[in-house]
Amino acid sequence: MKVVNQDLVIVRGINDTWMKENFSQMWIGFGGSPIGVPTEDAFFVGLYIKAPVSGIKYIGVVSEIERYKEGADFYLKAIIELPTIIKPGHAIRKHEYWNINNMGLTANQISHLRATINF
């Protein structure tokens, strides 16, 4: 991985059905069109669950990224449920770039995440 911004969180929109069926597989795929693929690598992926949740409920800690012609797969070593669902005020369909400091976590929780990714 070539992470330039260590605080970057790529927030990905998914539906609740996908989450239930794929939670244990520990990966998030991006693709479908060039605008559907993040241009940057990140240590964190936020999971925006569509209606009826309509918020960011989880954050994943990225262990590896595989990029290919039409997309990218982000493999996770941990998925953490956020203490409070973050309501961005709009739907996230593909992905958005956020900052770890805007994820509703305490300084202690952010420190723990940083220890998990070993930097």
Per-residue pLDDT at 19:
74
Structure tokens at 106: 């305490």
If one looks up domain 8-117 in CATH, what number appears? 2.30.130.30
Sheet holding 8-14, edge to edge: 27-31, 71-86, 55-68, 44-49, 8-14, 95-99
> What is the pTM for the complete model shown?
0.88
What does each C-alpha distance from 38 to 22, 29, 72, 116 come to in angstroms? 20, 10, 8, 22
Residue 31 contacts residue 70 (beta carbons within 8 Å): yes
Q: Which positions of the chain have pLDDT values less than 50? A: none
Residue 107 contacts residue 69 (beta carbons within 8 Å): no
Structure tokens at 27: 């990966």
Per-residue pLDDT at 12:
93
Residue 12 contacts residue 18 (beta carbons within 8 Å): no
Rounded to an integer, what distance in angstroms lies between the CA atom of residue 59 and that of residue 45? 6
Structure tokens at 30: 């991006």
Per-residue pLDDT at 16:
74
Per-residue pLDDT at 11:
96
Domain ranges of the chain: 8-117
